[in-house]
Structure 1
Amino acid sequence: MKINWSGFSKKTYPERLKMLRDSDLLSHELQENLEKNETLSVAIADQLSENVIGTFSLPFSIVPEVIVNNQAYTVPYVTEEPSVVAAASFACKIINRSGGFSAHVHQRLMIGQVALYQVPDREQACQEILNQKDQLLEIANQAYPSIVKRGGGAREIRVEKVSGQTDFLVVYLHVDTQEAMGANMLNTMLEALKPHLESLSRGQSLMGILSNYATESLVTSSCRIAFHYLSPNKDEARELADKIVLASHFAQADPYRAATHNKGIFNGIDALLIATGNDWRAIEAGAHAYASRDGLYRGLSLWTLDSEKEELIGEMTLPMPIATKGGSIGLNPRVVLSHELLGQPFAKDLAQIIVSMGLAQNFAALKALVGAGIQQGHMKLQAKSLALLAGAKEAEVPKLVDGLIAEKTFNLEKAKSILKELRS
């Protein structure tokens, strides 16, 4: 069903919900929950965390019609930053015109590690452990048989000598976690392996723990954007494409720029991770480690030109070990809604959507930075935030925003002054 999203942002809140319902993107039950402002209850929150004194709300938005692998998705975003949703929507409109995103999952295995120390002969211990690989994999699977029944389980064991202030022998376990992120699964398997590894190595185990540096869960998303979608002026479009590529090179060469470049990518990724109940801290930790994999912290995305076809090409690869089952995913009503809006995707599909949204956010930021400048796009949204902080009522906000933009002074004192004039 083709949905006409034109003017969606101008509709009232009830009109948006009705449109989602009429487009079969929202069940009647979940529509009622939204209208009642149903969110995470204190009773459930008290089971999820300690010392609970309430719950904390953030804006829940959507980015309409994001095309990934020729399928259109309605993407939920949870973010307090005003420009993020607008930027993502703008970027996806342009990218959709050139066919949308192409994405693929390289592999989906989580990695856990057991660190052994005081190993008398690390070389011999390596060989002893590898000689028992099949038996060790079986022990790991016996520790978590339910994942084996679902088609997953321990797949590989490797061993490395790691030296620093202390010499370690590190055993890495690779596990297919299916739809789960798998932290508890990995940790349970590693605990089961520890005594056997101590016996084989004749050393001591320091810890067994999942690694968030998920290099066996890489996902790549790419897009191609025809120059003429960047600007109706041919020369300006080519100049914008050239500058976006230069900005990408800058983020590859300078870690100060790379940090801000990657923060912009995570504006979108985090918004979708939070909406779908995933651990955004784990994903960020793994991605920042991946950005430093060759010893220099670099931008995560790369933009190049196809001059013959007159296209700008964006590509990004990230560790993306997200989940669609487990944890708090089924407990928070807003998370349930997010998965319904997305069409109940499998973990591999959701991972591809998430990386694509990071690339979209990056494109929007770079186009603004090398074009009119990032601040121009933020002005109206900043003015709206100031108007609300100044105490403007809903009917007063548009006039106060216009006044701030006309004055070109963006601070709370000026907003209060203009509001006072409007009311007098």
Structure 2
Amino acid sequence: MDSRIPGLYKLSIEDRRQEVADRCDLDEEAIEALAAGGLADERADTISENVVGTIEYPVGIATNFRIDGADRLIPMAIEETSVVAAASYGARMARETGGFTTNVTGPIMIAQIQATDVADPHAAKTRILNDADRLIELANEEDPVLVEHGGGCQDVEVRVLDSARGGMVITHLIVDVRDAMGGNAVNSMAEALAPEIEALTEGTVQLRILSNLADRRLARASARVPPEALTDDDSDLSGEAVRDRIVDAWAFAAADPYRAATHNKGIMNGIDAVTTATFNDWRAIEAGAHAYAARGGYGPLTTYEVDDDGNLACSIELPIQVGTVGGATQLQPAARAAMDILDVDSADELAGILAAVGLAQNYAGLRALVSEGIQTGHMNLHAKNIAIQAGATGDLVDEVADRLVEEDAIRQDRAEELLDELR
């Protein structure tokens, strides 16, 4: 499958959908799900609470991605016009040097069991660790299907914390959740072991729940971008100058949390959009990513350097907790179609793709920031939205948008004036 589709944006929605369906070998059910989009009321009512309706995001396709030697089309559910375009552009910049290489540490989640009012915390820690084999066995009795598929609780760790409310003994269950996001599995294990931990600590067990700082479940991606891919004929800057400015922008983020927050938001633009398209839990990934970025003082999740050949060497590392089985993914027809487009075989594979998308999104945004400025491309793509807000319909949408871009006056008042003239 070739993910390079020049001019995809010029096709009608129906033709784009068919192009993606042909390349990804989608069946009719998936095609219809993409066309229909939202959930039926009956299904929505089983997924959420007090349902009164549904809301839809547009699903765009990011092109040009080559990840671990295979071409991928990337479904992205997002309302921000420039995100899909930036991801596609970022992927194209790295395409000629082989695209993205990924590595995932495995689907390991952590459950925490909090014990308070423990008279001798360190002795309690020793008792828990001495009984670890039995505790692991009891935890795995909660999910024999997971164990049957090669997962389950693998280890027990214990930490003694000195908190504002006194000493606490925190037991971690280290669980391989296989292709699930894993929240339900690890929470059930923590609940089941609560009485055992209470007995071993002679304290009071309170919280027993997963941690979204999934630092045993890291996804990494890397790519190399040649300097000539970072600029174009209309730019006053050389590719080498843009490359060096991107490294400077990363160094700014590494030194300043105010900049790092926006730097990482750019990464999550891409990751959240794919996670939303597949009905995975983007909130869990956000929580884990930002906590991971703050381990030693808040900083960027990506790194940029210049390699020996003069290329921009790009890399990312962050925790990504997603599933390809269980959860709500299979309950939303359009999300199932998005998974068909991605054609992944495991949660690890999906996590690697998400890391690659976040990396592409980030350096594409940085390239715009250090050259023409972020607003130029963003507002050009936003011009159609401005035209529609001004009241344009049909062919007038493109005509008004083109004039706004040509005049470099992408404002609603000017769109309304142009619309009056054209009518």
Deviations 1:104-128 (CA, angstroms, capped at 9, x unpaired): 0123210010010110101111111
1:78 aligns with 2:77: yes
Cα RMSD after superposing both structures = 1.5
Matches within 5 A, 1:59-138: 59-138=58-137
Distance in 1 of aligned mates of 2:355 and 2:275: 10
Q: Which residue of 2 aligns with 1:314?
A: 314
Deviations 1:9-59 (CA, angstroms, capped at 9, x unpaired): 100112112222333432123223334x25311101111111111110110
Structure 1 position 4, deviation (Å):
5.5
The alignment's TM-score, normalised by the length of structure 1, stands at 0.96
Q: Which residue of 1 aligns with 2:304?
A: 303
Distance in 2 of aligned mates of 1:412 and 1:298: 37
Task: Indicate how the Cα distance of structure 1 residues 115 and 3 shifts in structure 2: closer, same or farther if over 3 A, else same.
Answer: closer
Task: Indicate how the Cα distance of structure 1 residues 187 and 4 shifts in structure 2: closer, same or farther if over 3 A, else same.
Answer: closer
Q: Which residue of 2 aligns with 1:238?
A: 240
* Contact residue 65 and residue 75 of structure 1 kept, 8 A: no
Distance in 1 of aligned mates of 2:326 and 2:152: 16
Larger CA deviation: 126-135 vs 400-409? 400-409
Distance in 2 of aligned mates of 1:4 and 1:202: 62
Q: Which residue of 2 aligns with 1:366?
A: 366
Structure 1 position 399, deviation (Å):
1.8
Matches within 5 A, 1:172-321: 172-231=172-231, 236-294=238-296, 296-306=297-307, 308-321=308-321
Query: Which amino acid letter does the alignment assign opposite residue 43 of structure 1?
Result: E
Task: Indicate how the Cα distance of structure 1 residues 386 and 85 shifts in structure 2: closer, same or farther if over 3 A, else same.
Answer: same
3-state SS of paired residue (2:330) = coil
* Contact residue 33 and residue 334 of structure 2 kept, 8 A: no
Structure 1 position 229, deviation (Å):
1.9
Structure 1 position 345, deviation (Å):
3.0
Distance in 1 of aligned mates of 2:311 and 2:227: 5
The alignment's TM-score, normalised by the length of structure 2, stands at 0.96
* Contact residue 339 and residue 345 of structure 1 kept, 8 A: no
Q: Which residue of 2 aligns with 1:16?
A: 16
Q: Which residue of 1 aligns with 2:377?
A: 377
Q: Which residue of 1 aligns with 2:162?
A: 163
* Contact residue 94 and residue 223 of structure 2 kept, 8 A: yes
Query: Which amino acid letter does the alignment assign opposite residue 245 of structure 2?
Result: K
3-state SS of paired residue (1:330) = helix
Q: Which residue of 1 aligns with 2:334?
A: 334
Distance in 1 of aligned mates of 2:231 and 2:183: 46
Deviations 1:186-206 (CA, angstroms, capped at 9, x unpaired): 111111111111111111101
3-state SS of paired residue (1:362) = helix
Distance in 1 of aligned mates of 2:409 and 2:3: 39
Deviations 1:79-102 (CA, angstroms, capped at 9, x unpaired): 000000111111111111111001
Q: Which residue of 1 aligns with 2:398?
A: 398
Distance in 2 of aligned mates of 1:38 and 1:135: 48
Q: Which residue of 1 aligns with 2:148?
A: 149
Distance in 2 of aligned mates of 1:148 and 1:24: 33
* Contact residue 392 and residue 419 of structure 2 kept, 8 A: yes
* Contact residue 38 and residue 55 of structure 2 kept, 8 A: no
Distance in 1 of aligned mates of 2:119 and 2:379: 64
* Contact residue 34 and residue 337 of structure 2 kept, 8 A: no
Structure 1 position 339, deviation (Å):
0.7
